[in-house]
């Protein structure tokens, strides 16, 4: 039975600043869930720490609000215990491309069947607006009062190079596009990575709704004949930023998932398998 929007409302309401881009992401996640044929109890939302990482509190699914930068290993564990679950990781750009970058990169190459969403507002919102790994060069904040000197992380080319099998970008100011992208990401078999342009209206006065709106371009539309299976074209499209920011599916490939390769999971999920006959005594003895 399809899920109704009201079934996805938890007991609490979000506490984000009025106008925060996370509201659009919240709505798009819920709308995608109402349009997919997946039971509500199958979803697990796993987040790190940050403004956007509060999402699991406000969508009525199973969920875990973990540690800053650590949603990927927790989600991997969930996937290995019960690979039938629909796991969605959600975190900020600080969470995913800063402290959690190692986990992010390895997750991309493993290809578990899950969706990783990054709410990319180009700042550390929760801790009052410090510069993040995706802040634009020259960006001034309380942590870089004279402007950012480093080249920002490019999440699209990074994830493609690391081995992600579905890579997309969307904009929280375009809920219709975002809903479609979340649905496609969930339906993809393998690791889908979705970077979302998410205005932080309180601390990021450069990358505003208007700034993104003036630049977003839908891949594959009009004169653009982008082919999602063309890795080099995807990497080239990822280079565009200051004047034009491409949204849509950059890259897609078919590759066996990690779960499919594990002989232990051939008989079914780990949670469905019996522990009877498994001798754990020798293992426990070694820990004495």
Q: Which of residues 8-27 bind ligand SF4 (CB under 6 A)?
A: 16-17, 20, 22
Residue 195's binding partner among ligand TPP, ligand SF4, none (Cβ under 5 to 8 angstroms by kind) is: none
Task: Convert 125-141 to b/e letters by CB count within 10 Å (16 or more is b).
Answer: bbeebbbbbbbeeebeb
Asked if residue 250 lies in contact with residue 170, where contact means CB atoms within 8 angstroms, the answer is no
- How many Å apart are CA 54 and CA 25, to the nearest integer? 12
* Site membership for ligand TPP, residue 155 (CB under 6 A): no
User: Rule CB under 6 A: which of 167-206 touch ligand SF4?
Assistant: 200-203
Spacing of C-alpha 285 from chain mean position: 40
Give the pair of three-digit tokens for residue 188. 């993809």
Give the residue among 124, 79, 115, 78 at the shortest CA–CA distance from 97.
Answer: 124
132 binds ligand TPP (CB under 6 A): yes
Per partner kind, with CB cut-offs from 5 to 8 A, the member of ligand TPP, ligand SF4, none near residue 68 is: ligand TPP
Task: Show the binding pattern over residues 51-90: x = contacts ligand TPP (CB under 6 A), - = does not.
Answer: xx---------------x----------------------
Q: Residue with structure tokens 């007991």?
A: 11
Is 92 among the residues that bind ligand TPP (CB under 6 A)? yes
22 or 195, CB closer to ligand SF4? 22
* Residues found near ligand SF4 in the complex (CB under 6 A): 16-17, 20, 22, 51, 121, 125, 200-203
């Amino acid at each position: 039975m399809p899920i109704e929007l009201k079934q996805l409302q938890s007991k609490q309401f979000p506490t984000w600043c009025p106008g925060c881009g996370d509201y659009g992401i919240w709505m798009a996640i819920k709308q995608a869930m109402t349009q997919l044929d997946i039971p509500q109890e199958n979803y697990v939302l796993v987040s790190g720490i940050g403004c956007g990482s509060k999402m699991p509190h406000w969508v009525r699914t199973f969920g875990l609000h973990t540690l800053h930068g650590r949603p990927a290993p927790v989600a991997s564990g969930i996937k290995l215990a019960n690979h039938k679950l629909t796991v969605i990781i959600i975190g900020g750009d600080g969470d995913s491309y800063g402290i959690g970058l190692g986990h992010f990169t390895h997750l991309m190459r493993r290809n578990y069947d899950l969706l990783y969403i990054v709410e990319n507002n180009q700042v550390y919102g929760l801790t009052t607006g410090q510069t993040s790994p995706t802040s634009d060069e020259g960006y001034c904040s309380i942590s870089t009062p004279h402007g950012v000197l480093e080249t920002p992380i490019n999440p699209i080319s990074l994830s493609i190079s690391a081995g992600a099998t579905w890579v997309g970008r969307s904009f929280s100011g375009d809920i219709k596009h975002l809903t479609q992208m979340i649905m496609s990401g969930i339906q993809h078999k393998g690791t889908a990575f979705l970077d979302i342009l998410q205005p932080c209206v309180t601390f990021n006065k450069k990358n505003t709704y208007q700034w993104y709106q003036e630049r977003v371009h839908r891949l594959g539309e009009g004169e653009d004949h982008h082919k999602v299976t063309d890795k080099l074209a995807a990497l080239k499209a990822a280079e565009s930023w200051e004047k034009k920011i491409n949204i849509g599916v950059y890259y897609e490939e078919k590759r066996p998932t990690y779960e499919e390769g594990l002989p232990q999971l051939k008989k079914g999920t780990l949670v469905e398998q019996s522990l009877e006959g498994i001798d754990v005594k020798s293992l426990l003895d070694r820990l004495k």
